[in-house]
A and B are shown apart, each in its own frame.
Chain A
Amino acid sequence: MIADLLTEPPASGAAFTRGRARLTAVMSTAPARRRHHRRLAAGIFAATAVAGVVLGVGMSGGFSSARPSGTSTIRTLAFTLTKHANGTATLTISPRVLLQPGTLQNDLRQDGIPALVTKDSFCSSDPIPAGFARVLSGPAGTPPSVTINPAAMPAGTELSFGIFPYSPGSTDTEIELIDTYSHTCTTALPAPPPSGQGVIMIGRGAGMGEPAGS
């Protein structure tokens, strides 16, 4: 009787496929964690688009995500994620190394930051959930950093990171707050939104240098 009342239609094929893709992305990082590959390539490009951040990083490599005991920092070749005592976290994208989606997503989640990290695609919600400015700030510095406040994330939201190699040796990353249960993903990097629309971008376009305003 309880089962009859609560039973829902079976999982859709799309749900199965999305979940499988997320798992595959995470599994793909596991061998790299053991082998500690290191491959470096070209530089970092960063600039602030109107309301957001695209993190510009270089060509790819394998990664080792490791948080030394007694510290609150995860360092990989591609990024550094530092969790602060006040609950916020600072994410710094290192130059010349392509971000591994599964590694970043895992490490963010382990730090209590719900995240969906995708490569060659970007997921967004319409409307964009409110509160982005309280959740994410930056970018600042070189290489560019953003500060994330997971406590300010509304329930049922997560941060979407879309990673797009846009030229040989460099990559854009776009960050946006999305509704966990209502979002769509596209293979095209969205155009920078108007100011105040809740998206951060670093590294868009050629010839970019320091993040504007940093």
Chain B
Amino acid sequence: MSAAVSRGGRPVDDEAGPADFRGDPEGFASVYDAYFKQIHGYVAARLGPAAADDLAAETFLVAFRKRAAFDPVRGQVGPWLFGIATNLVARHRRDEARRYAALSRMPPLSRHDQDTGDEDRILARVSAQRQAGRLTAALRGLADRDRDVLLLAAVAQLGYQEIAAALDIPAGTVASRLSRARAKVREALGTQGEMEDTPWMS
């Protein structure tokens, strides 16, 4: 299996690749080399970097064990791996909620910040803190299946069809879940301004 790197830095499957690693176990190492960084980044975003070290590796162990079941007709290697990673993340929902709670508790302004007298900077930071708190609270409040779809789009940067392949659900279901998640996040933030610039929120 070989994987070229393009499309926003994510590996793009070599069309001949999937069949190669299914028939040649040793070829699976190239899948790991091509996708580890992306899978690790996705898991780290959801569970933190420490957990990502283990779960990203576990994703490839599971994929290797299930390689014979991989069907290139139903999707490419990348979404397949993100789907496995998402299933592994699902075993750690409490850890994920704790991470979002921790992110919402950003450190308060230091005495130095307050003493500098740069009011614009202080106000910007306070605003960012509030937005981060609302956003993480919104993420915690989403249904698990909606959050999975949202973060596969926003963090893993998968398209509708890729998410559908990753989660083994119809593309229409992806669209409805994403729409519902967007609405809840927008409601929590109370604005559409900045988010409209982001492809997954438009």
Contacts and interface: CB of A to CB of B under 8 A. Distances in A.
Given A23-B61, A181-B54, 7 more contacts: A5-B103, A11-B53, A15-B40, A16-B37, A23-B29, A26-B61, A181-B50
Nearest to B157: A3
A77 B140 CA distance: 48
28 contacts: A1-B135, A1-B195, A1-B198, A2-B150, A2-B154, A2-B198, A5-B135, A5-B136, A6-B103, A7-B44, A11-B36, A11-B37, A11-B40, A11-B44, A15-B52, A16-B36, A18-B57, A19-B53, A20-B29, A22-B61, A27-B25, A27-B26, A27-B28, A27-B29, A106-B65, A109-B61, A181-B53, A181-B54
A185 interface: no
Contacts, number: 101
A31 B64 CA distance: 13
Chain A contact surface mostly = helix
Contacts of B80: none
A180 to B, nearest CB: 6
Interface residues of B, number: 42
Nearest first, the 4 closest Cβ-Cβ pairs linking A and B are A19-B57, A6-B45, A11-B40, A8-B44
B29 A24 contact: yes
B60 interface: yes
Interface in B22-74: 25-26, 28-29, 32-33, 36-37, 40-41, 44-46, 48-54, 56-57, 60-61, 64-65
Interface residues on A, range: 20 to 34
Contacts of A9: 49
A26 B57 CA distance: 12
A30 B25 contact: yes
Given A3-B154, A8-B41, A181-B54, A23 B48 contact: no
A10 interface: yes
